[in-house]
Structure 1
Amino acid sequence: MQTQWFYADGQDIKGPLSEQEFIEQVKQNIIQETTLVMAQGMSEWQLFRDTVLYQQLNAQHSQKDARSFISSAAERINEMTGEAGSFSLNLSTLFSDVFKKHTKEESERIFIAGTAYTTPDIADLTSDWPKPWLFSRIFLSFVLIYALLFLCLNGFSNIYALPGLILIGSFAVPFSLVIFFFETNVPRNISIFSVVEMFFVGGVSAMFLTLVLYSIVHVNNLTVFSAVIIGLIEETGKLFIAAWFIREMNARYLLNGLLIGAVVGAGFAAFESAGYALSAVLTNHTDLLYSLIDTRAWTSIGSHAIWTAIAAAGLLVVKKERPFRLELLRQRQFLQFFAVAVLLHALWDMPLFDGSDMKLLFLIACGWFFVFVLMNSGLRQINRIVRKNQGLR
């Protein structure tokens, strides 16, 4: 039997009502938080706000508000790309192949993509969500190498393992991210050779250009304002290098922009992390070395690679299949994405909520939300191009 509800309306007792009828009265604001209610199983009258049903309805309302907010945010990002429609992502499906067994031949098939002989025709492209997995194996390999170097250094006091420890600790997460974006580049039109070149040459070039900009605009103390300047300088340096690769490759897909931006940003992050780690050694702060490597590693999941990926994807939104022109960098549609990258970077560096990982986790989640929505838009672009090539509307 359904639970029967009663409520007090002044001196009158209303009821019995089924739970659904009772909820309808709540929605009509007839029953309020301070209304006295009673139901089967209750020994005395209670304020509605003190009941389990109130808590359940409040939780459902909060979940609906959260879903509504996420949907609205996704639609807004879609509008920024010129796409329309709802955003749907099932993370368990996206990462479903991570936990499956894969052969060496499957790995080789992934790595040989993007050459003049292995880039698929437009008609052979798919707009289904990719299921990357190789990045996880790359990451686990890095973890194993790092553990062995750690044992060499601390178990056998072999100082020669220190450079390798710094290198692997700094490059493990950024390079694993590179492989993730390489796997999710559905057009399969950029080779692993180009990716490695962008990671090393692009990462160092972005660092060099950033230092040039810092020599012009000096930043001393870290404040809210200087954090914005830092974000603007570093995202500008990385973007110009990413734009150069976009121009040289004549990239035309939004997903290409995500890959190129992520690779350049990841290279920048890896070299920067290695610099921080070496600085700790040279200044005799070796006691902080491992915590520094660990912190820089996990936070790189959602920092430079993600920010530059967003900005470069925005550049492909306005470029499309046209040749690259510097005027594209002045278009409002691109500047929106660049502003997002600068804002995320600035908030990351701002001296707000220092010592709390919650700020970083929140910004990482925001960055990845942008990336996933952009991936969704990129897949729609692929679907549209394929249909156009097939003569469909």
Structure 2
Amino acid sequence: MKSLSISHADVVPHTSTGRPRPGPSWVRIFLGGSVLWAATVVVTFVTGNSNLVPTIILVGSFLVPVTFVAFAFRHGDAVITAQRVFTAFVYGGVLGVLGASLLESAFLTHASGWTYPAIGLIEEGVKLAALWLVARRLPFYTRRDGMVLGAAVGFGFAALESAGYAFNALFTSRGLSLLNLVETEALRAVLAPVGHGLWTALLGGALFATAARSRSGRPRLRTPLLGWYAVVVALHALWDASQVLAVWLTLLLTGTRGQWTSIVRLGELPGVTQAQVHTFTVLNWGLLAVDALIGLSLLLLRWTPLGRGRATAPVLPLRHVG
């Protein structure tokens, strides 16, 4: 009777062609989902049927994250299966938001200047731990696969977080506001591609790259990973603190003596002019744009060399043993 055997000596390199593999069309997912979300919003406004609100929240919060995960999936190796990506998206996202909620409620009881870096440390830490957990049984590890699987975890986190923000936006002092809900979802959908998914993709690439330097061939906690963790935490902190930084920059550029006195004594900013509002808006979005450009540049620098014919994953040929 013959059996199949895999020998470690049989591992040979596989050269990536750099071409996307077959998979779900992210364009169709985005266009189809956008039509469904818009139709649900219109019908809800027309009919006033509150039973449709959960549909708006779910479709709007998950549309962009799912679209980008579908895009990333097509650029992974065969070991990154659809089931594995789905697991990373759901399990990684849920474990991430649960872990972040518990740790932030335990350690961030008072607001301070360290709140934003602390949030970055916690949320990026729990996402990294979730990625490590869902990837522990992979047969091999490459930087590209780490970035794909990391994006799945990050976008799962982003989708669930956006759903929470959308739900909270529904409730106002004047009652339920469907307009607030729709605006919140639209804004977060625009910003989603350069947030959690991007940051965890960078961490995933760094995590899987440590496997090449490990005797066991498994990811390990090494100095380069900690360095990338610090970079991602800094990007996360700058993103969260952009509004506060924009306020202070606006004051430095246009603030009057009376405004400085009031904000020091009372913590309030009286007599805000329309010009200051415009300055704040430009600075706020400018800081977000700078943060996004830095993150995207780092992602491209880490990704581009991987599609130039380099060995990306081992192939295990099967041989018959009598």
Interval containing the TM-score (normalised by the shorter chain): 0.7 to 0.9
Change (3 A) 1:370 1:285: farther
Match of 2:268 in 1: none
State the secondary structure of the residue aligned to 1:249.
coil
Amino acid at match of 1:375: W
1:217 equivalenced with 2:107 (yes/no): yes
User: Which is higher, the Rg of structure 1 or of structure 2?
Assistant: 1
Which residue, out of 85, 91, 96, partners 1:206?
Answer: 96
CA–CA separation in structure 2 for the residues paired with 1:386 and 1:144: 38
1:353 equivalenced with 2:246 (yes/no): yes
CA–CA separation in structure 2 for the residues paired with 1:220 and 1:129: 49
1:343 equivalenced with 2:234 (yes/no): yes
CA contact (8 A) 2:210 2:218 kept: no
**Identity, % of aligned positions:** 29
Change (3 A) 1:217 1:378: farther
CA–CA separation in structure 2 for the residues paired with 1:250 and 1:212: 32
The alpha carbon displacement at 1:248 in A equals 2.5
For each residue in 1:76-120, what CA deviation from the matched residue of structure 2 results, as whole angstroms up to 9, or x when unmatched? xxxxxxxxxxxxxxxxxxxxxxxxxxxxxxxxxxxxxxxxxxxxx
1:366 equivalenced with 2:294 (yes/no): yes
The alpha carbon displacement at 1:155 in A equals 2.1
Match of 2:117 in 1: 228
Amino acid at match of 1:308: T
Which residue, out of 287, 290, 300, partners 2:182?
Answer: 290
Change (3 A) 1:122 1:145: farther
Match of 2:133 in 1: 244
CA–CA separation in structure 2 for the residues paired with 1:303 and 1:342: 11
For each residue in 1:317-340, what CA deviation from the matched residue of structure 2 results, as whole angstroms up to 9, or x when unmatched? 111374436xx22x2111111111
Which residue, out of 375, 379, 382, partners 2:303?
Answer: 375
Match of 2:85 in 1: 195
State the secondary structure of the residue aligned to 1:155.
helix
Match of 1:384 in 2: 311
Match of 2:319 in 1: none
Which residue, out of 175, 197, 201, partners 1:309?
Answer: 201
Residues 106-121 of structure 1: pairs in structure 2 closer than 5 A:
none
Amino acid at match of 2:180: L
The alpha carbon displacement at 1:225 in A equals 2.1
The alpha carbon displacement at 1:370 in A equals 1.3
Which protein, 1 or 2, shows the higher relative CO under an 8 Å CA cutoff with sep ≥ 6? 2
The alpha carbon displacement at 1:348 in A equals 0.3
Match of 1:146 in 2: 37
Which residue, out of 218, 228, 231, partners 1:324?
Answer: 218
CA contact (8 A) 1:261 1:305 kept: yes
The alpha carbon displacement at 1:123 in A equals 6.3
CA–CA separation in structure 2 for the residues paired with 1:165 and 1:332: 43
What is the aligned length?
263
Match of 1:161 in 2: 52
Change (3 A) 1:127 1:336: farther
The alpha carbon displacement at 1:240 in A equals 0.2
State the secondary structure of the residue aligned to 1:190.
coil
The alpha carbon displacement at 1:198 in A equals 1.4
The alpha carbon displacement at 1:388 in A equals 11
CA–CA separation in structure 1 for the residues paired with 2:83 and 2:181: 32
Match of 1:78 in 2: none
CA–CA separation in structure 1 for the residues paired with 2:82 and 2:315: 29
Runs of 4+ residues over 4 Å off in structure 1: 121-125, 129-133, 385-389
Change (3 A) 1:138 1:202: same
For each residue in 1:354-389, what CA deviation from the matched residue of structure 2 results, as whole angstroms up to 9, or x when unmatched? 642222122122211111111123335x61357999
Gaps of 5+ in 1: 1-120
Match of 2:271 in 1: none
The alpha carbon displacement at 1:130 in A equals 4.3
The alpha carbon displacement at 1:349 in A equals 0.7
CA contact (8 A) 2:14 2:311 kept: no
1:182 equivalenced with 2:59 (yes/no): no
CA contact (8 A) 1:318 1:334 kept: yes
CA–CA separation in structure 1 for the residues paired with 2:312 and 2:82: 24
CA contact (8 A) 1:228 1:343 kept: yes
Give the TM-score of the pair, scaled to structure 2: 0.74
Give the TM-score of the pair, scaled to structure 1: 0.62
Gaps of 5+ in 2: 1-10, 248-280, 317-322
CA–CA separation in structure 2 for the residues paired with 1:269 and 1:201: 13
State the secondary structure of the residue aligned to 1:293.
helix
CA–CA separation in structure 2 for the residues paired with 1:387 and 1:257: 15
For each residue in 1:189-217, what CA deviation from the matched residue of structure 2 results, as whole angstroms up to 9, or x when unmatched? 21112211211121001111112222331
CA–CA separation in structure 1 for the residues paired with 2:315 and 2:75: 22
State the secondary structure of the residue aligned to 2:48.
coil
Change (3 A) 1:250 1:338: farther
Which residue, out of 232, 243, 253, partners 2:142?
Answer: 253
Match of 1:70 in 2: none
